[in-house]
Amino acid sequence: MKRYQQLAATLQQRIKQSEFQPGCRLPSIRSLSQQYQLSKNTVIHALSELEQAGLIQAQPRQGFRVVVPCQPLPPVQPRQVTLGAIAFSVLSAASRPGILALGTADPDSRWPAVHNFYRELARSARRRSDDPHRNSHYSAPPGDPSLRNALADHLNATAFACNSEEIIITQGAQEALALTLRTVARPGDIIAVESPCYYGTLQCVEALGLKVLEIPGDPVSGTNLVALEQALAQWPVKALLTNPTFNNPLGFTLDLHSRQQLIALANQWDIAIIEDDVFAELGFQNQRATALKALDTEQRVLHCGSFSKSLDADIRLGWVLPGRYFEQLNYLKYVTSIACSGLLQQCAAELLRGRRYRRHLSQVSRAYGERAQMLAEDVRQYWPDDVNFILPEGGMLQWFELPTTVDSDQLFNQALAEGIGLSPGNLFCTDQRFGHHLRLCFANYRREEKQLKAIIRLGEMITRSD
């Protein structure tokens, strides 16, 4: 057997043993050459063999990635969520004074549209304070009519057909998700989620006494629909909670065919779909993927959105279009928090009028694409070659697969001691499966001196643990 064939057989065995998972990047040609003491041409020949066998695929500027599973999917089972206060502790630690927060999903709020929003808020507050005839009242659910009308106009122009009567305003997307879960499920019921899954979703499931069924996903193809179908056939799932566009934390965007399949599965098994779409407007090419809501013919999709990622996390305004569940969810909103701030809603409605908000989204998305590229370049330069990641096409988050010898929980503590905040992988699951992964946010990454030093230092920590 020739040397390139020996290397191809070795790599194929490592793929079959799941050392290299579907969607993960193989070590670089240089790294394989050094590891196996082979010439680069021999390595390239071996990789070509694997590509012809359909096991890997070349990605522009990103090397080769595993593209097919090589063993049967393991069965998934419902689990109780026991994150407890772990995620809250990570968030609190990252927000301490002096900590450079690289892991939390905080948008850049230094944009003219955000400045104008707060100026309008201040003017509105002054007008109200100076009004001798002002009356105090709640902006009761489903929300301020001006915002619901403006939001319906915006969604009709950019996402899917709807009318203002379908929209319920919430205090951010987190309340929207909590209300949707309470609407479609009861304590002890099973909710399917992607895995890894945003820890805020897992905490919400935990607080409501629900169980999760973690459906595997990967940064390339997204939610594994084969595993989802198998799970639906085996377990009494009440709903699927999915983040299909610029997923948190993996970054994937489901293609149209997969979205159609997902809708078909929901129809077949009569389950609700909770669509977390908070990043959908942040595509680097200013293209919005087809929302699941746009494909829903049976009103079973509860579509959730927010201004928290596109404007400012302090603007606690979100919305949900709950379809057939409108009345139940609207009542839960009322008995849970009564109302959202009328002032905030009216200022958001003013921002949505015309094309100002869409111009803002275009500006932000373009900048985030540049910052994602900057972070990727610096990671490739200063972190070990066997750190794997796939550059997303939108959003603000990047998922990293570290060498298996690196414990990202320990890395979190080491980094925090040096003033660097990140999000370790085990936050995003119930069973410690992502202990050598981490999530960073590039929304505010400008390659400033402090940021670059932090990336270099993280690379040194990872190398030392490798």
pLDDT at 84: 59
pLDDT at 428: 95
pLDDT in tens, 93-123: 767 888 999 999 999 999 999 999 999 999 9
| 272 and 208 in a common domain | yes
pLDDT at position 87 over 80 = no
pLDDT at position 69 over 60 = no
Whether residue 251 contacts residue 105, with contact meaning beta carbons closer than 8 Å, is answered with: no
Q: Tokens 């009440």 belong to which residue? A: 238
Name the band, by pLDDT with cuts 50, 70 and 90, for residue 344.
Answer: very high
| 371 and 222 in a common domain | no
pLDDT at position 171 over 80 = yes
Whether residue 134 contacts residue 335, with contact meaning beta carbons closer than 8 Å, is answered with: no
pLDDT at position 257 over 60 = yes
**Looking at residue 273, which CATH number applies to its domain?**
3.40.640.10
Angle subtended at Cα 363 by Cα 358 and Cα 368, rounded to the nearest 5 degrees: 120
Considering the domain boundaries, does residue 223 fall inside one? yes
pLDDT, average across residues 231-259? 95
Domain that holds residue 382: 84-110+358-465
Nearest of 427, 425, 418 to residue 455 by alpha carbon: 418
| 385 and 318 in a common domain | no
pLDDT in tens, 445-466: 999 999 999 999 999 999 998 6
Q: Which two tokens stand for residue 90?
A: 């990570």
Which position has the higher pLDDT, 154 or 88?
Answer: 154
* Cβ-based neighbour number of residue 349 at 10 Å: 19
Cβ contacts of 377 within 8 Å, gap of 6 or more = none
Secondary structure (H, E, C), 105-164? CCCCCCCHHHHHHHHHHHHHHHHHHHCCCCCCCCECCCCCHHHHHHHHHHHHHHCCCCCH
SS3 326: helix
Considering the domain boundaries, does residue 71 fall inside one? no
Q: What is the dihedral of CA 200, 228, 271, 263, to 10 degrees?
A: 100
pLDDT in tens, 216-244: 988 877 898 989 999 999 999 999 999 99
Cβ contacts of 466 within 8 Å, gap of 6 or more = 384, 386, 403, 405, 406
Cis omega (within 30 of 0) for bond into 424: no
Q: How far apart are CA 457 and CA 463, in angstroms?
A: 10
| 145 and 22 in a common domain | no
Percent of the chain whose pLDDT exceeds 70: 94
| 264 and 123 in a common domain | yes
| 426 and 345 in a common domain | no
Question: Which helix (H) or strand (E) element contains residue 220?
Answer: none
Query: pTM of the prediction?
Result: 0.85
Q: Tokens 């009564």 belong to which residue? A: 338
> How many domains would you assign to the chain?
3
| 145 and 106 in a common domain | no
Considering the domain boundaries, does residue 129 fall inside one? yes
Considering the domain boundaries, does residue 446 fall inside one? yes
Whether residue 248 contacts residue 194, with contact meaning beta carbons closer than 8 Å, is answered with: no
Name the band, by pLDDT with cuts 50, 70 and 90, for residue 356.
Answer: very high
pLDDT, average across residues 72-101? 75
| 168 and 264 in a common domain | yes
Q: How far apart are CA 239 and CA 180, in angstroms?
A: 10
**Looking at residue 460, which CATH number applies to its domain?**
3.90.1150.10
pLDDT at position 25 over 50 = yes
| 99 and 183 in a common domain | no
Nearest of 162, 165, 166 to residue 323 by alpha carbon: 166
Q: How far apart are CA 313 and CA 109, in angstroms?
A: 8
| 92 and 50 in a common domain | no
pLDDT, average across residues 68-89? 68
Q: How far apart are CA 275 and CA 242, in angstroms?
A: 5
pLDDT at position 72 over 90 = no
Mean model confidence pLDDT for the chain: 91
pLDDT at 466: 67
Helices 86-94 + 199-207 axis angle, to 10: 140
pLDDT in tens, 420-449: 999 999 999 998 889 999 999 999 999 999
Which residues are registered as beta bridge partners of 438?
400, 424
Secondary structure (H, E, C), 67-115? CCCCCCCCCCCCEECCCCCHHHHHHHHHCCCCCEECCCCCCCCCCHHHH
| 219 and 142 in a common domain | yes
